[in-house]
Amino acid sequence: MSFATIYRVFFKRNAVFVGTIFAAGFVFQPLFDSGITSWYEAHNKGKLWKDVKAQLQLVGDEEAADDE
């Protein structure tokens, strides 16, 4: 596919160009978001609330059992 073909298909008419930008944005945003979220969760494993919550509930249950 040459640059002339790409130009003719996507960039020659403004409405098609804008539509291409919007379509690319709608596709790119969820892919980028899920990728960054996966990286962030892997990078901060053990420090996030979803990881710490279970540990805190276990400690709270043990303290409640000790009080009884």
CATH (residue range 1-67) = 1.20.5.260
Question: Could you report the per-residue pLDDT of 32-65, keeping only the tens digit for each?
Answer: 999 999 999 999 998 999 888 888 888 776 666 6
- Please give the share of the chain, as a percent, with pLDDT higher than 90: 44
Which residue reads 């969820």 in tokens?
30
Question: Could you report the per-residue pLDDT of 1-12, keeping only the tens digit for each?
Answer: 788 998 888 888
Has this prediction a pTM greater than 0.85? Answer: no
Question: Could you report the per-residue pLDDT of 10-35, keeping only the tens digit for each?
Answer: 888 888 889 989 999 999 999 999 99
Q: What distance, in Å, lies between the first and last C-alpha atoms of the chain?
A: 75
Domain ranges of the chain: 1-67
The pLDDT score that the predictor gives to residue 11 is 82
